[in-house]
Amino acid sequence: MVGKDSGTQERVEKLLETPNLAGALESDRFKQFLDHIPIAIAVSELRPSERIVYLNIEFERLSGQSAAEIEGKPWKFLAGQAAVADDERSLSAAIADEQDYIGVFSIRRGGDAVNVDAWSNIIEDDDGTPVFRLLALADADRRGSVDPRELERRIQEKDTLLRELQHRVRNNLQMITALIRLEARNMPDDATVLGFDRLAGRVEALALLYRALSAEGANESIDLGVYLSEVASAVMHAHALEGIHLDLQVDTWPVSINVAMPAGLVVNELLTNSLKHAFAGREGGTIALHSLVDERGCEVVVADDGVGLGPGVEWPTAGKLGAMIVRSLRENAKAQVEVESKPGKGMRVTIRFARADAVAAAPT
């Protein structure tokens, strides 16, 4: 137990190392990226006294408050009260006093009220000193007419599943935060928007999973075929290229989160790589995504008929986030991963899940 668990924990701890977020927040490219995340995000600086230093566009839309109104001010200037009848917490007090998922809150927006799910997380520096607080809001009313207390119970159940999967990465929000940190830390001074473009795809894959987990009537399983189809659709939409055809074939295959999350991230990575690099100098080509089921289990194939990997190039690249996600796929999801590539004949990645392992947390 010690060897495998401690190794996983060390990798997660490495993932959660924090870069100079203050510098990142001064970058127009970083702000542009945050402005396109489909989750409302606000950041406060804790020292010398806590003040809000950034809100993204989605936060302004969802909260009904502009950056000009509350940037530079403490959280008490953010409106919102707990939506549960016997809960007297204000949103600002919950942000300061609690961590992770903090509940459902009602925010007055003009003449209307909107219910939001809220998360609050402290970001520490390399010495473990708290330096920033990150707040995220998601529209709870999209779930339909459901009692706020029931919404909180459902979200807390989902957070429990994600805690079990990610150990110290306590929920979907923290995984997003970790990805942002990793990309910002590795970004050279002369980087283009390409790094954030790739990160945006990873965030979108996680956002799709979050929506599937939060959907009305959702249980503890995810339909891998449906989820990977949504990931593929998002990638193709974001990087649409003339002459590139997607060959999509999927079967229904309910899986637990520890299969769906790394599988979605790997498929996002592979499709993005193909669209950006596989057809250089060509007028078109085909990318295949197949997730097919037989009596042995499920086989996911991502392939293209492009230029293939160059001499000496391997995928995933050691030390990069893609390699960490593939390790998670092998260790947490118990998947077999095979990579084939020939110059001028494309690349093919095959991911196999045994039936017993892939559906351990879901009905067949």
Which tens digit of pLDDT belongs to each residue from 175-228? 555 555 455 445 554 444 455 566 667 777 776 776 676 554 556 688 999 999
CATH code where residue 58 lies: 3.30.450.20
Instruction: List Cβ neighbours of 68 (8 Å cut-off, separation of 6 or more).
Output: none
**Is residue 283 in some structural domain?**
yes
Q: Which of 97, 47, 57 is nearest to 76 (CA)?
A: 97
- The answer on 337 and 269 residing in a single domain is yes
- The answer on 171 and 24 residing in a single domain is yes
pLDDT tens-place string over residues 224-265: 999 999 999 988 887 767 789 999 999 999 888 778 888 998
- The answer on 336 and 271 residing in a single domain is yes
Instruction: List Cβ neighbours of 4 (8 Å cut-off, separation of 6 or more).
Output: 331
Give me the percent of the chain exceeding a pLDDT of 90: 26
- The answer on 145 and 223 residing in a single domain is no
- The answer on 244 and 294 residing in a single domain is yes
| CA distances for 354 relative to 76, 86, 143, angstroms | 51, 47, 34
Specify the pLDDT at position 158: 54
Domain region containing 140 = 2-186
Which one is predicted more confidently, 158 or 81? 81
**Is residue 21 in some structural domain?**
yes
- The answer on 350 and 224 residing in a single domain is yes
- The answer on 45 and 119 residing in a single domain is yes
Bond before 316 cis per omega within 30 degrees = yes
Q: Please give the DSSP secondary-structure letter assigned to residue 142.
A: G
Model confidence at 47, pLDDT cuts 50, 70, 90, reads: confident
- The answer on 243 and 169 residing in a single domain is no
Specify the pLDDT at position 54: 87
Which one is predicted more confidently, 268 or 32? 268
Q: Which of 142, 171, 186 is the last residue of a domain?
A: 186
Q: CA 298, 304, 309: angle at the middle one, nearest 5? A: 110
Work out how many domains the chain is built from and give that number: 2
CATH code where residue 345 lies: 3.30.565.10
**Is residue 284 in some structural domain?**
yes
- The answer on 46 and 165 residing in a single domain is yes
Average pLDDT, the chain: 75
- The answer on 238 and 122 residing in a single domain is no
Region of 6 on the Ramachandran plot (φ > 0 left; ψ -120 to 50 alpha; else beta):
alpha
DSSP codes of every residue in 258-283: HHHHHHHHHHHHHHHHIIIIITTT-S
- The answer on 69 and 163 residing in a single domain is yes
**Is residue 192 in some structural domain?**
no
- The answer on 229 and 351 residing in a single domain is yes
**Is residue 212 in some structural domain?**
no
